[in-house]
Chains A and B, each alone.
Chain A
Amino acid sequence: MAEPLIFERSVPGRRGYLLPPSDVPGFRADDIVPSDRLRTEPPPLPEIAEFDAIRHYTRLSQQNFSVDTHFYPLGSCTMKYNPKLNERIAALPGFAFLHPFQPAAQVQGMLALLYELEQLLCAITGMHAFTLQPAAGAQGELTGLKIIAAYHRRKGRRRSTILIPDSAHGTNPASAALSGFQVVQLVSGRDGLIDLNELKEKLTKDVAALMLTNPNTLGLFEREIKTIAAVLHEQDALIYMDGANMNALLGIARPGEMGVDLLQLNLHKTFSTPHGGGGPGAGPVGVVKRLEDFLPVPRVRKVGKRFRWEERSRASIGRVHGFYGNVGVLVRAYAYIRALGREGLMRANQAAIINANYLKAKLQPIFPVPFDDHCMHEFVVTLKALKTHGVTAGDVAKRLLDYGFYAPTVYFPLIVDEALMIEPTETESKETLDEFADALLAIEQEAKTKPDLVRQAPQRMIVERLDEVKAAREPNLRWKAGTFLFSPEGSTQRK
């Protein structure tokens, strides 16, 4: 059943939360604040009872697929189980109710945790130092690019080009452009990897760095990474690694030993913090020793047994976050790393790679894998063959919803036609993978025999396929009173 908007549940005079009464003498805003700085009418928010909110937001939640309720094989997003234990730790008042300006003496436990997390991330990646400040992967990329610019500036030169393979996440070119760089795209080789000749051809004196993802978005390890790094370093250009796919490397290989100069990690992917329907994440950036001075401030320091923030550093790129980053997310990631520990992280990584290869093996007879090799933690298949039946990868994704599976990433990476990018993660059981493979194989049959069924999917969701063209042509980004007629079968727009 459709759920009305919370505004449509509003009844004038209803209250959902009562504040404690005032315990101080009254002050009237009118007496204190010039009238032109006061609001004339209260904000027209909904007026509901507490139980209205409970019903409404519980029912809405049930319209979502989530990791807790459904297999969520979204490639490049590492939708693994988000342990409840992490939530419990992060909610401790000693973490959740701290103010960022409390004196260091009052937050020694917090600082110790952050310091230790930096050390753990260094050990895991082989990098020399980390900043925990970036709030998400893309902000980590921005931080990295600012560091790259600062590095070249210190060398007394301005370099304005960043090389990015055509298989990269969209955030890479967007971050480069936001940081004031020109993007030059590298065409992937026939094996889906970086083509050394292409790299050498595009490696002009103006190149500041190469941004690459390893394993790349096809789930393939860049075998030539050391050579790639050497080629760049010869020109004193840097190599930035998008660590979105770090789940593939834990306990197998470390970026620090690949010649990578700096990278960002996505704690909401590799280290199990929940995605929250879009965020928050955390995107710590790790660097080699010669880039450490450029890291954002403040940095947590250990002096003797005490911890404190160090605000100033002459070479630092400055601040990227209002305070210290998404600390609540960092606490969860810390709990994850400590709970799994050395053996747990390594076993998780092995299970992730086996799960991906197993699912690939099950699907491969039907769905070709365009750049075939053993994959790491994810793989990409092409549904090109279904085009002759008038069925697209997007249609198959929608049909999977009817089978009770969230859809893999579709149409990415851009270099694969009709791509489905599948990342099962280590926390899914073999039984779930078998069920998913069976569903996908069944849909492939449907596409041939009953293509309309697939094209009209989904049928079992709260809504059918949505009119995205209308949404874009006539943007309606907020509710206004009187614009809809609500009914449980679904609202319609008032004519």
Chain B
Amino acid sequence: MIQIPPELVYTKSHEWARRLPGAAQAGDAIEIMVGITAHAQEELRDIVFVELPKIGRTVKQGEAAAVIESVKAAFDIYAPVSGAIARVNEAVVKSPQLVNQDCYGTGWLFAITPSDPKEFSSLLSSGAYSQQVQAQAH
């Protein structure tokens, strides 16, 4: 059974998103942490390269923000929400296999400071995403 943690929200294009409290001094600012789901990771198989966006770049919801490559394919990773890239996970650049090993944890990709908080609530719940994955399998 594919792991779909209930505390996260999802996109149709197989990204997960997690709301984090922002940096201490930024008051009520928040960050949305982004990665790919276990289902996506399994489909891609051995990930050999991750290209992350530059910090500070602004992205729109649904815009390609990162690229993940297997040996014979390259996949765009889309921003689940609009905003500015706040942080990126350098560890997956050095060790792309982290995305295979721990896609919801150490294999996260980047974090966005959202510009429109409403977008986050429009993302899929774990239940809805799970249904989508099952529907695609049949």
Q: List residues of A whose CB falls within 8 A of some B CB.
A: 411, 468-469, 471-473
CB-contact partner of B97 in A411, A468, A471, A473, under 8 A: A473
Q: How far is the CB of A45 from chain B (nearest CB, A)?
A: 32
Interface on chain B toward A: helix, strand, loop, or mixed SS?
loop
Q: How far is the CB of B85 from chain A (nearest CB, A)?
A: 25
Q: Provide the residues of chain B in CB contact with A411, threshold 8 Å.
A: 72
0 or 1 for each of B42-55: is its CB under 8 Å from A? (1 = yes):
00001011000000
Quick one: closest A residue to B45, CB to CB? Answer: A469
Q: List 15 A-B contacts (CB under 8 A).
A: A411-B72, A468-B71, A468-B72, A469-B46, A469-B48, A469-B71, A471-B71, A472-B48, A472-B49, A472-B69, A472-B71, A473-B48, A473-B49, A473-B96, A473-B97
Interface residues on B, range: under 10
Quick one: closest A residue to B69, CB to CB? Answer: A472
0 or 1 for each of B26-63: is its CB under 8 Å from A? (1 = yes):
00000000000000000000101100000000000000
The distance in angstroms between the C-alpha atoms of A219 and B71, with both chains bound, is: 28
Q: Provide the residues of chain A in CB contact with B71, threshold 8 Å.
A: 468-469, 471-472
Q: Which of B49, B71, B96, B97 has the most CB of A within 10 A?
A: B71
Q: How far is the CB of B101 from chain A (nearest CB, A)?
A: 13
Q: Provide the residues of chain B in CB contact with A472, threshold 8 Å.
A: 48-49, 69, 71
The distance in angstroms between the C-alpha atoms of A411 and B70, with both chains bound, is: 15
Q: Provide the residues of chain A in CB contact with B72, threshold 8 Å.
A: 411, 468
Quick one: closest A residue to B97, CB to CB? Answer: A473
Q: Provide the residues of chain B in CB contact with A469, threshold 8 Å.
A: 46, 48, 71
The distance in angstroms between the C-alpha atoms of A448 and B69, with both chains bound, is: 32
Q: Provide the residues of chain A in CB contact with B49, threshold 8 Å.
A: 472-473
The distance in angstroms between the C-alpha atoms of A468 and B71, with both chains bound, is: 7
The distance in angstroms between the C-alpha atoms of A471 and B69, with both chains bound, is: 13
The distance in angstroms between the C-alpha atoms of A473 and B68, with both chains bound, is: 12
The distance in angstroms between the C-alpha atoms of A472 and B73, with both chains bound, is: 12
Closest 7 pairs (CB-CB, A-B): A472-B48, A469-B46, A468-B71, A473-B48, A472-B71, A469-B48, A469-B71
0 or 1 for each of B86-114: is its CB under 8 Å from A? (1 = yes):
00000000001100000000000000000
Q: Provide the residues of chain A in CB contact with B96, threshold 8 Å.
A: 473
The distance in angstroms between the C-alpha atoms of A471 and B70, with both chains bound, is: 11
The distance in angstroms between the C-alpha atoms of A47 and B23, with both chains bound, is: 60
Q: How far is the CB of A487 from chain B (nearest CB, A)?
A: 28
Q: Provide the residues of chain A in CB contact with B46, threshold 8 Å.
A: 469
Quick one: closest B residue to A394, CB to CB? Answer: B72
The A-contacting residues of B in range 63-90, CB under 8 angstroms, are: 69, 71-72
Q: How far is the CB of B74 from chain A (nearest CB, A)?
A: 11
The distance in angstroms between the C-alpha atoms of A471 and B46, with both chains bound, is: 12
The distance in angstroms between the C-alpha atoms of A472 and B71, with both chains bound, is: 7
Q: How far is the CB of B79 from chain A (nearest CB, A)?
A: 21
Q: How far is the CB of B68 from chain A (nearest CB, A)?
A: 12
Q: How far is the CB of A390 from chain B (nearest CB, A)?
A: 14
Q: Which of A411, A468, A471, A472 has the most CB of B within 10 A?
A: A472
Q: How far is the CB of B44 from chain A (nearest CB, A)?
A: 12
Q: How far is the CB of B67 from chain A (nearest CB, A)?
A: 14
Q: How far is the CB of B117 from chain A (nearest CB, A)?
A: 33
Q: Provide the residues of chain B in CB contact with A471, threshold 8 Å.
A: 71
Quick one: closest B residue to A471, CB to CB? Answer: B71
The distance in angstroms between the C-alpha atoms of A411 and B72, with both chains bound, is: 11
Q: How far is the CB of A441 from chain B (nearest CB, A)?
A: 27
The distance in angstroms between the C-alpha atoms of A468 and B72, with both chains bound, is: 9
The distance in angstroms between the C-alpha atoms of A55 and B49, with both chains bound, is: 38
Q: How far is the CB of A467 from chain B (nearest CB, A)?
A: 10
Q: Provide the residues of chain A in CB contact with B97, threshold 8 Å.
A: 473
The distance in angstroms between the C-alpha atoms of A411 and B73, with both chains bound, is: 12
